[in-house]
């Protein structure tokens, strides 16, 4: 027999009270964010399917063409703090809407591009929109709606981006092979304008308070604090951006994400071309890439789940970076290992990359709280995307153009992943000054 006021009784009065009248609305938002992430992932991961067709049609080198992807990531990182400020002050819903409009227009115009300078300009424009529909705004919405089950909700919401790669990379490969690369860009534009915009408009709500609800598990968190003592992930102080920047934790994590996204960006920009060079058709190369992104779906989900059971997200991040290093390393032996190299690459790189991406917002919430989440995640993203993500594709393209193969490019990726893992492993929990 339970005593009145027991933990079980009080638990039923928290977020589960939101569920007493039906499914908690936050889970519907998670589902919407999942589909938004599918479209978002398509914008990013399909670039490699366009790389070789564009070089063949216009005579651009791979370094020149891949520079567009670097510019895309560069500007995405640079505008992240601005989007983060808007998210903190006007809410993620309007940021999603504006970003979807920007990306839809940019993708439609890309279908008519005819010059390298125009190609660069439109990818810069596309990058502005990318920053407003990625892990940062998704993370802000999830942290507002969930205290309990936050890792699970984050993993489900962000797993969609890898689903976009799984579905849209092979689809773009098919469209390019059967029709043209211009049709591929037009289909992506339609997904943004007629898929993402309506979903956000009708279903996304910034906070549970706007619907008269409470975050899932909010009161339960307070009860556990009172009856059982604080849990680290539930008792996080809310840091300001200035305070976060004063910690060694922030800068070590910045180095880890910078190196991880440098290597990850290089691989994503060039992997379809790498497989084509190895003798695979565009359709098959795109399918392999799509499967690796499908595996990253599992990585995002698993990282979210593991973060709820292991209170050391920095160690989880280090493990994800090491997995990616191993996955890229086996590609250097593709000719001798064949199918087994592909299997190990798809599994290790996919799982590790997916985990790394979902840990970005999770670690910010875990280490620095919710008050300045957008600003802190934005600056951390600037370090990762504008420095790391922007440099990786260019460096890989230059190494390929100078050597005629991707061997040195992928060796460099292995080294970057391992250095990033070291930075994450030595990042301490942030301490109040």
* pLDDT tens-place string over residues 207-224: 888 888 888 776 644 444
The radius of gyration of the chain's CA atoms, rounded to the nearest angstrom, is: 21
Burial class of 253 by CB neighbour count within 10 A (0 to 12, 13 to 18, 19+): buried
Cβ–Cβ < 8 Å for 300, 152: no
pLDDT digits (tens, 9 = 90+) for 353-393: 888 887 887 888 788 877 777 778 778 877 777 788 778 88
Q: In sequence order, what are the residues at sequence separation of 6 or more whose Cβ sits closer than 8 angstroms to the Cβ of residue 288?
A: 271, 275, 280, 342, 346
What pLDDT score was predicted for residue 218?
Answer: 66
Q: Are 334 and 305 in contact (CB under 8 A)?
A: no
Domain locations along the chain: 7-425
Which of 295, 300, 259, 261 minimizes the C-alpha distance to 69? 261
250 pLDDT more than 60: yes
Indicate whether 160 pLDDT > 80: no
Question: For residues 260 and 384, is the Cβ–Cβ distance under 8 A?
Answer: yes
Looking at per-residue pLDDT, the higher value among 151 and 338 belongs to 338
pTM here is 0.67
CB 87 within 8 A of CB 31: no
Do 67 and 394 touch, CB atoms closer than 8 A? yes
- The mean pLDDT value of the chain amounts to 82
- Under the banding of pLDDT at 50, 70 and 90, the label for residue 225 is very low
DSSP 289-318: HHHHHHHHHHHHHHHHHHHTT-S-HHHHHH
- Round to whole Å and give the CA distance between 421 and 255: 9
What's the pLDDT at 84? 79
**Where does the pLDDT of residue 80 fall: very low under 50, low under 70, confident under 90, or very high at 90 and above?**
confident
**For the chain, first and last CA: distance in Å?**
46
Residue 220, pLDDT score: 47
Q: Which CATH superfamily is domain 7-425 in?
A: MFS general substrate transporter like domains (1.20.1250.20)
pLDDT value at residue 116:
94
């Amino acid at each position: 027999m339970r005593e009145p006021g027991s933990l079980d009784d009080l638990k039923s009065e928290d977020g589960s009270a939101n569920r007493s009248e039906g499914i908690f609305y936050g889970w519907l938002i998670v589902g919407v964010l999942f589909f938004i992430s599918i479209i978002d992932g398509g914008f990013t991961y399909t670039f490699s399917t366009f790389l070789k067709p564009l070089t063949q049609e216009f005579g651009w080198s791979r370094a020149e063409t891949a520079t567009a992807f670097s510019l895309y990531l560069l500007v995405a990182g640079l505008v992240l703090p601005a989007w983060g400020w808007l998210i903190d002050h006007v809410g993620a819903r309007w940021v999603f809407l504006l970003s979807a409009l920007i990306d839809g227009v940019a993708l439609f115009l890309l279908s008519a591009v005819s010059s390298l300078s125009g190609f660069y300009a439109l990818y810069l424009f596309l990058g502005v929109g990318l920053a407003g529909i990625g892990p940062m705004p998704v993370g802000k919405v999830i942290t507002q709606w969930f205290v309990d089950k936050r890792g699970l909700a984050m993993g489900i919401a962000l797993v969609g981006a890898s689903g976009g790669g799984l579905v849209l990379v092979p689809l773009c490969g098919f469209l390019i092979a059967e029709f043209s690369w211009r049709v591929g860009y037009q289909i992506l534009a339609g997904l943004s304008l007629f898929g993402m915009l309506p979903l956000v408009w009708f279903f996304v709500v910034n906070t549970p308070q706007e619907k008269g609800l409470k975050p899932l598990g909010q009161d339960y968190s307070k009860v556990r604090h009172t009856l059982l003592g604080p849990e680290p992930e539930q008792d996080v102080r809310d840091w300001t951006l200035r305070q976060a920047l004063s910690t060694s934790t922030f800068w070590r994590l910045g180095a880890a994400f910078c190196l991880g996204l440098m290597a990850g960006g290089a691989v994503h920009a060039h992997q379809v071309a790498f497989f084509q060079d190895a003798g695979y058709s565009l359709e098959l190369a795109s399918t392999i890439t799509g499967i690796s992104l499908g595996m990253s779906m599992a990585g995002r989900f698993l990282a979210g789940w593991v973060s709820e059971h292991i209170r050391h997200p920095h160690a989880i991040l280090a493990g994800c970076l090491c997995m990616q290093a191993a996955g890229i390393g086996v590609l250097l032996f593709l000719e001798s290992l064949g199918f087994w190299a592909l299997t190990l690459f798809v599994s290790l790189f996919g799982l590790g990359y997916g985990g790394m991406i979902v840990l970005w917002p999770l670690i910010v919430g875990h280490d620095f709280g919710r008050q300045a989440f957008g600003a802190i995640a934005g600056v951390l993203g600037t370090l990762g995307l504008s420095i790391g993500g922007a440099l990786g594709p260019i460096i890989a393209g230059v190494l390929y153009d100078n050597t005629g193969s991707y061997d040195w490019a992928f060796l460099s990726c292995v080294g970057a992943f391992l250095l990033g893992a070291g930075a994450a492993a030595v990042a301490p929990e942030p301490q109040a000054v």
